[in-house]
Structure 1
Amino acid sequence: MSGHVDDELHPSTTEGYKVGEKKSVAEYADLDKEDESLARWKASLGIGAAAATGSIGEPGDTRTVVILELALIVEGRPDVVINLQEDGALARLQNTPFIIKEGVSFRMRAKFRVQHEVISGLRYLQLVKRKGITVDKAEEMMGSYGPNTHEKPFYEKLFAEEEAPSGLLSRGTYNALSRFMDDDKNEHLSFRWIFEIKKSWD
């Protein structure tokens, strides 16, 4: 975990927006049953199925969002997949750099599970530094999700395409801090990782 050393990495806020009152899955399922638009919203989150069948999750696991896997996707190359359920996965991210070829277009993909309650406004935050200086700060809105069920055991989110910097001055090692947070400012995962921009993939 980050220990909140980088206090500049927080979700953006929208003036006048207020986070709604937290409700259980059962309360959402019973809410305004005659409201068609609300019924469609609840169906899109799978709330009816979760209330009827019960959400899935590991017994005794109190987490509401479990990030299962992260992947780096570059067209024409095999995906680089990090299974975050493996022991030591986060430590390896911090100590073993990703190699990214300069100027290449890439995307990230997150695979995750939601359990116990509805998550509103899940987002991915990223802060990148080089030699202690912030060079990039990004925020990717992932959306709102109801608890997963046996019929839909996980969600996947493909992030917006990015382009690696290019040129001699851009090559080198970068340090990144990533967080998954929601509208209630709950932090579901925070980790540090490193990557290298190189002239080639070798």
Structure 2
Amino acid sequence: MSTHDDQEELKPTATPGYKPSAAKTAEEYAKLDAEDESLARWKASLGITPGAEGADTSGPKVTVLTLELDSPTLPAGKKIIFNLSDTAKLADTKKNPIVIKEGVEYNVRITFKVNHSIISGVRYMQLVKRAGVKVDKMEQMLGSYGPHPKGEAYAKNFDPEESPSGMLARSGSYNVKSRVIDDDGEVYAEWEWSFKLAKEW
């Protein structure tokens, strides 16, 4: 369970002077500047057309599908992918943390679907703690999206990072709180998982 301090750490960084505009649905965006043909074509390429949104806006705006850790050093055929609909497997990482090789370059990839509306200023936040002490925080911009014209998922690869190394880094496991949030503070997904560092994958 997240503490108050964790909640503060998982808030997106505010850009001085920036004020998010009022949220609009895809239908409202489709009707804006409807007389501008080139803009209408561009919006249509994003799946933003009058009537395309449909009547059902009751579900979540965003569904986060997977979180993947990728590295050129991973053995052939080995994949580290969290299916976020499998909450039991995520919870199991607290007892059986995933293993990440120490001192290697890796990157995080996230896949998600935009179900309706337009989302803007969406970020992936990650807070890493060991024995209750913060050791790392990541904030990566996902961007702004409309529903995919073909209903497909979007994928975002983050910049490569290097895993810590050394005996101290290998002692104990790391607890991670992940969140997908927008500039307005709307949380689209939040989950927890654990990992440990080792000499090999």
TM-score normalised by length of structure 1 = 0.84
Instruction: Tell me how far apart the structure 2 counterparts of residues 2 and 47 of structure 1 sit (CA, whole Å).
Output: 36
Cα deviation 1:23-46 (Å, max 9, x = unaligned):
111110111235688658745643
Q: How does 1:116-127 map to 2 (within 5 A)?
A: 116-127=116-127
Structure 1 residue 167: Cα displacement = 1.6
Are the equivalent residues in 1 in contact too, given 2:121–2:183 (CA < 8 A)? yes
Cα deviation 1:1-42 (Å, max 9, x = unaligned):
747561322110000001011111111011123568865874
Q: How does 1:46-125 map to 2 (within 5 A)?
A: 46-48=47-49, 51-54=50-53, 62-77=59-74, 78-86=78-86, 88-125=88-125
Runs of 4 or more, structure 1, over 3 Å off, are 1-5, 33-46, 51-56
Secondary structure of residue in 2 paired with 1:15: coil
Instruction: Tell me how far apart the structure 2 counterparts of residues 33 and 73 of structure 1 sit (CA, whole Å).
Output: 43
Read off the aligned partner of 1:107 and give its amino acid letter.
Answer: N
Aligned residues: 196
Cα deviation 1:133-180 (Å, max 9, x = unaligned):
11111100001111234x242111111111101122221311111111
Structure 1 residue 119: Cα displacement = 0.7
Are the equivalent residues in 2 in contact too, given 1:129–1:136 (CA < 8 A)? yes
In the other structure, the counterpart of 1:20 is: 21
Read off the aligned partner of 1:134 and give its amino acid letter.
Answer: K
Instruction: Tell me how far apart the structure 2 counterparts of residues 93 and 168 of structure 1 sit (CA, whole Å).
Output: 22
List alignment gaps of at least 5 residues for structure 1: none
In the other structure, the counterpart of 1:29 is: 30
Read off the aligned partner of 1:156 and give its amino acid letter.
Answer: A
Structure 1 residue 85: Cα displacement = 2.2
Secondary structure of residue in 2 paired with 1:94: coil
CA distance 1:14–1:167, shift in 2 (3 Å): same
Secondary structure of residue in 1 paired with 2:140: strand
Instruction: Tell me how far apart the structure 1 counterparts of residues 37 and 14 of structure 2 sit (CA, whole Å).
Output: 29
In the other structure, the counterpart of 2:10 is: 9
Structure 1 residue 107: Cα displacement = 1.0
List alignment gaps of at least 5 residues for structure 2: none
Read off the aligned partner of 1:46 and give its amino acid letter.
Answer: G
Larger CA deviation: 60-69 vs 174-183: 60-69
TM-score normalised by length of structure 2 = 0.85
Q: How does 1:131-142 map to 2 (within 5 A)?
A: 131-142=131-142
Cα RMSD after superposing both structures: 2.6
CA distance 1:55–1:76, shift in 2 (3 Å): farther
